[in-house]
Structures are given as C-alpha cells and as structure tokens.
Structure 1
Amino acid sequence: MPAIVAATATPAFAVSAQKPTVTVSTPGMQSPAAGDVTATVQVTDADGTTSAGHVVSFTSPEGVSFSPPTPTTSGSGVATTTMTTTNAWATPGSTITITALSDGASGSAAITQLGANALVSGSGSVTNGTTTTWTPTQLPLVFPSPVTALVSNRQAAYALLENGTVWSVGSNGYGQLGDGTKTDRSTWAVIPSLSNVKQVAAFSAGAYALLGDGSIRSWGTNNLGQLGNGTTTQSSSPTVVSGVTSAVAVAGGGDNGYALLRDGSVVSWGFNYYGQIGNGTVGRDSSTWAVTRPTQVGLDERADSIVAGGTSAYALMRSATIRAWGDNRSGQLGNNSSAEYSSTIVVVGNLSGIKQIAGGGKSAYALSKSGQVFAWGSDSSGALGTGNGNSSKPVRMLSGVSSLTAGAASGYALRSEGTLSVWGSNYQGQLGDGTTTDRATPVTITPSVSVSKLMTSSPTSTTQFLVH
C-alpha cells in the first residue's frame, strides 16, 4: 500500500502587517494665519528604512489647502507641499491640526497660528517697515499670542502680548528696540530679555515695561535721565528703573517716565526743564535739568491713573478729578492760567466725575463717566477738535464716548455704537479716514472689523492702534 505523506511548507517571506510611521511638521510648528508655509512629511517604513514613492494626502480644517495636494516622498522618505491658510483674523496663538496620511498610516500635528488681532493707521515705517497706511490696516501676521497693548513714538513701536512678552520694530539708533543692538529693524521681533510684562509705555526714543513684580524696565536714549537708572548712559537692552518695586502703572512723556505706585503715589524721572518732575523744582541748565532717579510727585491725594503729555503730566485722582504739572505754554495744564509752567501740582479746571484721561503733545483730554469728552491746551492742527483755537481750560467737544486716547496732536474716541471719532493732525494718515487732511472737528470712521480697545500711543506718536 503506498505511503501517503503530509507536508507543510513554510514560505520564504512573510508580509508584515505593520504600517509605516508618518510625521508632519512646519518650521517651528507655526504658520501665518493667512499665507503660505512649507509642510514637510516624513514617511518611515515599518523596518525603519525610508524610500521613495509613498503618496501622501492631507486632512485639515476648512480654509486650509495644500499644493500639491498629494506629494510623493523622495528617496529619503520626505515629501513637501505648500500649506495655505486663509483665516487672517484667527486668534494669534490658536492652533490648527493637520493630518498627513500615507499607506494606511497617519500622523497629526498642532500648528500654532501667527496672527495679529490689531490694526494700525499712520506711519508704516514705525509699525510694519513698509508704507504709510491711511486707513486702519491689520498689522503683519507674526505674533504667537494675542496683542493686548500697542504703543509707539515717532521712531519705533512696541507690542505687548498676552503671554507677557514685548515685541518691537522700527529705528534703533538709540537702542530703542531693546534688542541689544543699534540696528534698525523693519520686522517685528521679541525683545529677548523681557517676560511677565503687564504694561508698556513709550517716550521720545525708548520705552518702559512694567513687570508683574511691580518693577519697571527701561531702554533707549538716556541723555536726560529718561531711563531712571541713575545714569545718563543710553541702553540698547532693558535696564532697571531705580528703586521702583510696587508700580501698578507706567507712563512715558516726551523725555520723562512716570510710575503710579500701589499706595496711590506717583514718582517721576527724566527731563525737568518745565517742572514736569512735579516736585516743586525746575532745571533750567544742563547741570540740573536731568533727574536720573525716580522722585516723588507732590500730589495732594491718591491717584488712580497717570498719563503724560510732551512736557506735562496728568493724574486722575480717586476723587475722579484731575491734577496736572509741567509745561503750560499752550494752556495744557487746564487751570486757566497763562503761566509758562508749574513745577507744583494744579487742579485741572472744574472737572469732576472723570473716568479716563489722555495726553497729547501739547493738549490733553478727559472722559467723564457720562461719556462726555473735554479737551484743553493747544489746538494746533485741530488737536482740540473744537475748531476754536487754544484753550487754557477744559471745553466739551464730544459725547457718547466709551474710551479715548491721543497721539502727538491727534485725538481718538471709541463711540458707544462701535464707530470711531477722530480729529487733529493727519499728515501721516494717522486718523485713519483715508486722507492726510487735518480735521479741526471730529469725523467718523468705521473700521473693517469690530474694535474692542483703543491703544494709547505716546505724546510723540503719529500712529493710531486698534485692537480687534
């Protein structure tokens, strides 16, 4: 009987069920909220090798596309494509998730959106390194966190982000960008040594940063003691303002700094030619006009907020009245006086019930709790918005206002219905009305997006900032 033999054969190879590994990335794991960026996909076979010919596809949120949509890996297992995003007003620092798929495997990545929740009109060279913008225009999409404050002087601009960092752009001959150099920069970049910043303020050629611990940093020119560090040596990196440890607000004038302390007192430093230090002294020669360390301002009660003019300063008191000191050549102290200056504190007009103040170069403004705006000082280029010339006492010029701010000779008011009233100097297009025509009385503009906040610049600024 024949023998029957049963045999089993082992194949010479086995097909692995394992899938390749897929990873996807962009430079820095970031992308502009609207624009192009290169997306790179790495496909690694199950055995750890890489090879050409893997076809890659993508899934992503609405408004995100890829070109080419299905790239193929090179011999190193890499495929690249251009990712295009289109949501210009995406919140800076928010993320989108993109997924790359190849040969049944997938890999995902959260990509941080670089954006700008802010608009600017005025000098483009200060804010974006390009041309002047005559209507409110979105800032470059470069910020990794929402913008909470923007200030500028005639030469540079500063952005405070929600993450506590400060970014700068513009001219840098005095180190006013704070980046440790004196090289001009037309693109925004973070000031590397600053963190936990709560407020920024600008003066003529530099800036101040209030930190969360109540101290203040300063940088830029210092020939008049503007840095408040006990010297007259300029600094291209943030330096410590001497002796200030409990500040809750900071303000910058033309060449002065002011700090509101936790106890409601105010200290000041810098140029004192018009008594703008506010301690009863005046420095009328080069040996006395620079006050290099913070000095107590002689207020008669506690203050709630402070602002600065070009060579004057103002404090909103807890009684909702206003105090002023310094230069008065244009009536900017608002006390109906023709005196050239006051080195001691004066009461502004008969104003009461005030909730906000703003300082221009030679003029000032107050907003009452009932929405009335008052102005005083120089009416050059229409800065008072009344069309009636200079005034050494407050005059009412607008109503229905929720907040206000000022530049060198321009005023800005956010109306309760969401529009803006603007007036004054407009030679840089800083009013945002599409012209370079000065406005002796307020005109209305309606930005392309809703505005939540007007940003105070400085009494030397020719830019307008709006936060969306």
Structure 2
Amino acid sequence: MTRVTIPFEHAITLSDAIQEAEAEAEAETVDEEILAFQFENPHLVGEYSPSAGTPVEEYLRNFEARYGTAPQITGVVVARDVDPNEAARGRTEKPIPVRAPKFVAPPARALDGTMAETAPQTMEVSSAPDWRPNVMTGDLRNTGSTRTLVQTYHWSDGSSSDQTPLGFGLEFGVELWNRDSGVLGARPNCQDLAGQPYLDYKDRSWASNYGWSWTVADNPNGGPIAPASIGAYADYNDLSDDCGRNSMTVGIRYPQALLQNSAGGFLRIEIEAPAGILPSSVAAGVVQPVSDEFCTTPVGSLYSLTDCMGVYAGSWPSSAGPQFRLTLNEDRAWQSPALCWTSAAKGEEPSVRTPCPENQLRLAGWGGNYAGELGVGSSDVPVSAASPIPGGGLAGLTFAGVSSSNTAYTNCAILTEDAYCWGYGSDGQLGNGSWVDSVSPVAVDDGGALAGRAVTQIETTFMGTCAIADGAPFCWGSSNYTGGGYSATPVAIDISGALAGKTVTDIAPHDLGVCVIADFAPYCWGYAYVGLLGNGTTGWTYQASPVPVDMTGALSGKQVSDIVAGTDFVCAIAEYRAYCWGDNNYGELGNGSTVDSAVPIAVGGPLGDLNVTSLSGGYVMCAVAEGDAYCWGRGSDGLLGTGVAYPRTGTSSHELLPRKVDDGGVLLGKTVTHIATGDVHGCVLADGQPFCWGENRDGALGNAVPANTLAWSPVAIDTTGGPLEGIFAVGLTVGGGSTIVAYPK
C-alpha cells in the first residue's frame, strides 16, 4: 500500500472536506481507506488525520490557537495498491468536484514571537555558515487527546537553507523506539502468539503512524510556502525500521525556496500522535540532506511504496557532515511534563531543558483548604470557594506538571526539573525536611537522593509522596512507601533487584504501598494486604523492595503503559484495556464481582470493547475511553457521577462494572480528556472546561449546587471572572476536598 493524494477542485473547510469525502465514499467514487486531509495555506502546509485521535472541533481549536487561522483543505489522502512502475512515473489524479464553496483562510499569525520565546536571543555559531540551522529546539506537548512533538529550526548569521546544494532536499525526521537496558528492544506486540514476528506489523494499529497529523510552518515575513514551492511531504516507516523503532519524516524537496528575512530563516514542524500511544523510551529527531536521484533509478523505484517519497539519503558532497541529531525526552517520550530542549551551537545536541513556553502552566484551585492544599498562602477551616480562585502562593510560579488525583490533602507540582509540594505535611509528605503543613509551595529537598536529578513525575497519597527522577523511583513520608522508616526527604527506592537495569516510566502510591511501570511491566512494594502487590500474596506481609506483578494471567504477553492506585486497589492500562487488583469490596476491580484479587484481572463491561487512555483512582476507579468518562465501585457518596441516586447500603449501592458518567446534561456533545476522583467528589475536563460531581463539601463543586449537598451528575464549574474564564485547561488533580486545574500561562 502507498499514500495517494486526490485533490479537490478548490480549497474547502475541513468540515466540508469530511462531508465531501463521506459522500464520495458512499457513491463509491473514492473507495480506498482515507488516511488524511491535506491542507495548503500561505506559510502552512500539512495533513489532518482523523486516526491521530484529535476530534475535528478540538483540532480546529488548537490550530486556530497556534496559528490564528484555519486549514484550507486541498485534497484527501488515501491508501492504495500502486504498481511500482506507475508510482515511479508519478500518476496524476483527477480532481474531485465539490459542492462546498471555496474557502480562503485568514492570514496566519506571525511566528516571530514564538521563536523569540523558544530560542535563545543570542545565537552562537560554532562553525562557518552553511546549510545547517544554527539553533534547534524540540518539545513534547500534551494537547487534549493527543501528544504533539514540535521541532523548530532557526538559521542566522549567514547560514541558510538555500545553501543546500541544488538537487538535494532536507528531511526532518522523527524516530521513536523502545529501549531495554540501553539496547533497542522489541516494539509492543511485535510478535504473534506463536512468538513469530508480524511481517506487516507497521500496518497494525499499535505500530501504524501513517495516519499521524503533521504541519510545516515558515516565517510569515518571508515568502509563502506550499508543496508546489518547497515540496513538503511525509515519509512513514523507513525500510531500516524494525520492531525496535518506528519513524516518520517530514521533508522539503526544495529548501532553497525557503525565504529569509532580516532575522534569518525559520521552520516549525509539528507531528501529532494519539494520546493512547504506548510510551517509548526515546524520541529523537534528525536533520539530514537527501537526494532524489535514488528514486529515479530502477532499483529506487521499487522502494517507492514504502520508503522513497521522492527523496532518499544520498552521498553528501560537503565536508560539513551528512546530518546532526536532536535527541528529545530520553525518559518518557510522549508523556508530561513537557520540557523543551535547545541547542547551544550549530550541530550540537540540545542540552538546555526548560518548561516549554506554550506548556508553562499556571494553577487555579477551589474547595477544601484544611491544611493549605490550595497553596493560597493561608489555611482556613473550612474554605468554601464559590468559584475557581487564583493560585495565591502559586500565582508567581510556572509549572511543567502537576500531581494527579488522590484522597490526600497534599498537592505537588514540577517547576522545570524540581518538585514543589504544599498542604498536609505531618508525615513528611512535603519532602522538605519538615514535619509540618505548608500553606504555600515549598521545594522538595534536592540535595540528597535527588541531587543532580531531573524530576519528571510526582504523585501524592494520604501519608506520602513519590516521584520519578531520571527514570528511577523516589519516595518520602510514611514507611509504607520508602521501603524503610519515615522520612521527610526523598529516599531512593531499591532498584538492585527486580528493577535492575530498567527505566521507570509511571508511579502510583496508595495508602499501603507503591506500584510502578518499568519497561512496560508493573512492579509493587509495601503491604500485600488484600493482594496489593499483584503477585498472588495477601496478608500484612511488608515487601520493602519492588517485586514483579503477576504477568502469567490476564496480563500475559501484554505491554503495560500506565498505572494508578485507589485507596487499597491498583489498576493499569495494557494495550488500551484496563486491569485491576486488590480490594474489591464495592466492585472497585470492575469485573462484575466483589471478590478481592491478588493478581491482575480484566475490567469488564463497556471498557472491554473500548480504548482506555487514562485512569484515576480514589475511593472509586474512573477511566476515560474514546472521549467519554466511566466510573465504578461505591456509588453512595455520589462519586460515580452516573446520574443514579445510589442508596447508602445494599448491593444496589455500588457499580460492579464500569458505567458511563452521565453525558446527557452539561457533558452533552463534549469530549472528555481528563478525569480525577478523590475523597468526596470527582471531576473531568471536557472541551477544556471543568465539570464535577459528588458532595459539595467546602465548595468542592464551586457554587453549582448548595453547600453539603450531593450532585449525582456532573455540574459545570462557574469560571466567570476567574483565572479559568475563556481558558482551555490542560491538567486536573482532585484531592481530599479540593480541585486544582492547570492551564497554559
């Protein structure tokens, strides 16, 4: 199969293009699989792919926010069996007649300001002017239901893309691969049940990237770009890719056509992938010169279906070297928090890591503030915030990530690569060496176990806090988490046993211990209790160091990507399905029973057939699957949000299988991207806005319902006049009775 673009007779809107394509498919005029819709604007070219995971409305909203315009759709990209000789000759497709009116988009917003923020003001050049960019930057972003990799390139001080020799183009590649103890490892599900490799694995859902969305943008102060002038294209899955690597290249055949202004040349490339993609260990970018000579040879034409999209890496006629690399997040690709990498000089790998300008987060909160968990600089008992309030003590800080939901009264966030916590601290949860509460953020001690390490994730629970730094786990607070005694500063968890040589990518503390994901497998430590270790053991046995969770039953042969914990149960995502273990008194394991399980079991009900992309645990368990929210477990406190008024006792007081959160009221027609559940309430972000349900204790639901009453269905949080008014929120955490929302700076 190869990708073929069929043009429309004139440019139309994306919504019209989808309708036209559906009409053509119904009439069987276009009967191939539709991969993407191509757009061509002045200064903007690329493709929108529905399979990348972003709904049309969200994609258009993000597009307008980034570029100040909308895509002019000029064609539809389909998958087609093409004869190699025909591909080499370059068959011309007949334009599709359209009924929709011609669309001319507003001019794109200038990107000079973006460059001023993402690139150093003074750019040092370490070698003579040539074709290579002086500065490269890269960042990984969470954008609702997708992850976006952004690369920017800036030429200055005499260097320019037009110094690329005629006959050569430039490719800006993206490579994703999994790493096992420093060695390239197998891609998820690369083998069938018999252990044989899938020869067509790149066409399977877990490996396919030919449906990712991408955009190329230049400096609007230069000349307009379009495929006709610079020859923009996408190349998917290089022939050299094996089960350890998946690659995509966005290239320009004619970099000589990129015009520069007085500030130099600029190019920005975005590649958008589904949010549910399994985490990779490494994301890398490479800039290399390429030649189309190979593709015009008889041998080269044979590669055109899979690799050669008009260019191919050839010999480089210069002593400047054939390529240089941009290596991004080596710890947790496609995951938050997002950091930017900036090269200090030409040809050098970026080494400066800071929160990305477009991913710098402010925090706003409302609800309970017994121990100062809102971080507003004061502690009032009770606090009943009628609507979201500014972060108070947080208002002057810009964060890269925030802890997720819990039943605790402590919250934490990441500032660049350091951690800050606030709220309840009598068990050492704040990690700053003290045993007292703090009403404002305090820095977690980074002079001991965390010295010289970059924190990439932090999570809290009732009596402790855990974090990941440089791919290793650290905890502080109760001995339930540290593997030893109580500690008010971070303690390095023993990784000499089951975790030896492995990279930790997710962490989830609960009331009695901790679980992590390392190299796509779960490990736990702490008390076994009702099966919290997931290895078949129960009772009050204390396990001080990580042990593997059982992978011979429900998780056999699967790659586990995410893990969360409730009070005394644990759930994980493996290949878009949910699995749980531990206490099941109220159906928290979601398998239709109330029998505890000491090993992972599959969550049933509707989630057995849906793609699960996130989980959240507190006293109940909740999930996001294909844009909707689902919850299960105890319903009597209103924590499920299903619209059912559950009784206090009896079998009808809980849900043994996942049930959809009520989407017939304020959530009607909205897409859920985040979910969080805590002590007395639960919340979601849908279309960037917060909606909550449960008990309105201390203003947990804002002013949506009277104080101390239950909302069995989601209610809209009033953001009028507050920091969230008109803002598209991107992060959510629910604590004991408080809610904190993260939004772009």
TM-score for both structures, normalised by structure 2 = 0.43
Q: How many Å separate the matches in 2 of 1:235 and 1:297?
A: 26
1:137 aligns with 2:389: yes
> Would the alpha carbon gap of residues 357 and 433 (structure 1) be closer, same or farther in structure 2, given more than 3 Å must change?
farther
Match of 1:41 in 2: none
Q: How many Å separate the matches in 2 of 1:220 and 1:134?
A: 32
Match of 1:308 in 2: 565
CA contact (8 A) 1:247 1:260 kept: yes
CA contact (8 A) 1:272 1:291 kept: yes
Match of 1:149 in 2: 402
Q: 1:202: Cα distance to partner?
A: 0.8
* Paired letter, 2:464: G
From the two aligned structures, give the one with the greater helix fraction: 2
Q: Aligned with 1:226: secondary structure?
A: helix
Q: 1:446: Cα distance to partner?
A: 4.1
Match of 1:430 in 2: 700
Match of 2:373 in 1: 126
Match of 1:453 in 2: 730
Q: How many Å separate the matches in 2 of 1:436 and 1:138?
A: 23
Q: How many Å separate the matches in 2 of 1:433 and 1:279?
A: 45
* Paired letter, 1:360: G
1:464 aligns with 2:739: yes
Q: How many Å separate the matches in 2 of 1:226 and 1:428?
A: 30
> Would the alpha carbon gap of residues 431 and 296 (structure 1) be closer, same or farther in structure 2, given more than 3 Å must change?
farther
CA contact (8 A) 2:515 2:522 kept: yes
CA contact (8 A) 1:407 1:464 kept: no
1:117 aligns with 2:117: no
> Would the alpha carbon gap of residues 432 and 242 (structure 1) be closer, same or farther in structure 2, given more than 3 Å must change?
farther
| 1:126-205 equivalence runs, <5 A | 126-128=373-375, 129-131=378-380, 132=383, 133-142=385-394, 143-151=396-404, 154-161=408-415, 163-193=416-446, 194=450, 195-205=453-463
> Would the alpha carbon gap of residues 165 and 348 (structure 1) be closer, same or farther in structure 2, given more than 3 Å must change?
same
CA contact (8 A) 2:361 2:401 kept: no
* Paired letter, 1:424: G
* Paired letter, 1:453: V
> Would the alpha carbon gap of residues 394 and 294 (structure 1) be closer, same or farther in structure 2, given more than 3 Å must change?
same
Q: 1:388: Cα distance to partner?
A: 4.5
Instruction: List 4+ stretches of structure 1 deviating above 6 A.
Output: none
Q: 1:144: Cα distance to partner?
A: 4.2
Q: How many Å separate the matches in 2 of 1:120 and 1:433?
A: 13
Deviation string, structure 1 residues 422-441 (Cα, Å, up to 9, x no partner) = 11133132233454432111
Point out where structure 1 has 5 or more consecutive residues left out of the alignment: 1-114
Match of 2:574 in 1: 317
Q: Aligned with 1:382: secondary structure?
A: coil
CA contact (8 A) 1:356 1:366 kept: yes
Q: 1:364: Cα distance to partner?
A: 1.1
Q: Percent identity?
A: 24
Match of 2:464 in 1: 206
From the two aligned structures, give the one with the greater strand fraction: 1
Match of 2:537 among 281, 290, 297: 281
Q: 1:360: Cα distance to partner?
A: 3.3
Deviation string, structure 1 residues 444-465 (Cα, Å, up to 9, x no partner) = 124332142232446xx32211
Q: Which has the larger radius of gyration?
A: 1
Q: Aligned with 2:531: secondary structure?
A: coil
CA contact (8 A) 2:368 2:697 kept: no
CA contact (8 A) 1:405 1:454 kept: no
Point out where structure 2 has 5 or more consecutive residues left out of the alignment: 1-359, 647-653, 664-669
- Supply the RMSD in Å over aligned alpha carbons: 2.2
CA contact (8 A) 1:380 1:409 kept: no
Q: 1:183: Cα distance to partner?
A: 3.1
> Would the alpha carbon gap of residues 309 and 153 (structure 1) be closer, same or farther in structure 2, given more than 3 Å must change?
closer
Match of 1:412 in 2: 683
Match of 1:78 in 2: none
CA contact (8 A) 2:472 2:504 kept: yes
* Paired letter, 1:127: L
> Would the alpha carbon gap of residues 363 and 239 (structure 1) be closer, same or farther in structure 2, given more than 3 Å must change?
same
Q: How many Å separate the matches in 2 of 1:173 and 1:238?
A: 15
Deviation string, structure 1 residues 264-311 (Cα, Å, up to 9, x no partner) = 10111123211111111101x4xx2x2221111114121121111110
Match of 1:40 in 2: none
> Would the alpha carbon gap of residues 134 and 462 (structure 1) be closer, same or farther in structure 2, given more than 3 Å must change?
same
CA contact (8 A) 1:134 1:436 kept: no
Match of 1:439 in 2: 711
> Would the alpha carbon gap of residues 177 and 165 (structure 1) be closer, same or farther in structure 2, given more than 3 Å must change?
same
Match of 1:343 in 2: 598
Equivalent pairs, count: 336
* Paired letter, 2:660: R
Q: How many Å separate the matches in 2 of 1:166 and 1:334?
A: 34
CA contact (8 A) 2:513 2:526 kept: yes
TM-score for both structures, normalised by structure 1 = 0.67
CA contact (8 A) 1:403 1:415 kept: yes
Q: How many Å separate the matches in 2 of 1:272 and 1:136?
A: 39
Deviation string, structure 1 residues 158-189 (Cα, Å, up to 9, x no partner) = 1212x111112223222111111223322222
Q: Aligned with 1:334: secondary structure?
A: coil
Q: Which of 378-387 and 436-445 deviates more?
A: 436-445
Q: 1:145: Cα distance to partner?
A: 3.4
Q: 1:393: Cα distance to partner?
A: 0.8
Q: 1:210: Cα distance to partner?
A: 0.6
> Would the alpha carbon gap of residues 271 and 181 (structure 1) be closer, same or farther in structure 2, given more than 3 Å must change?
same
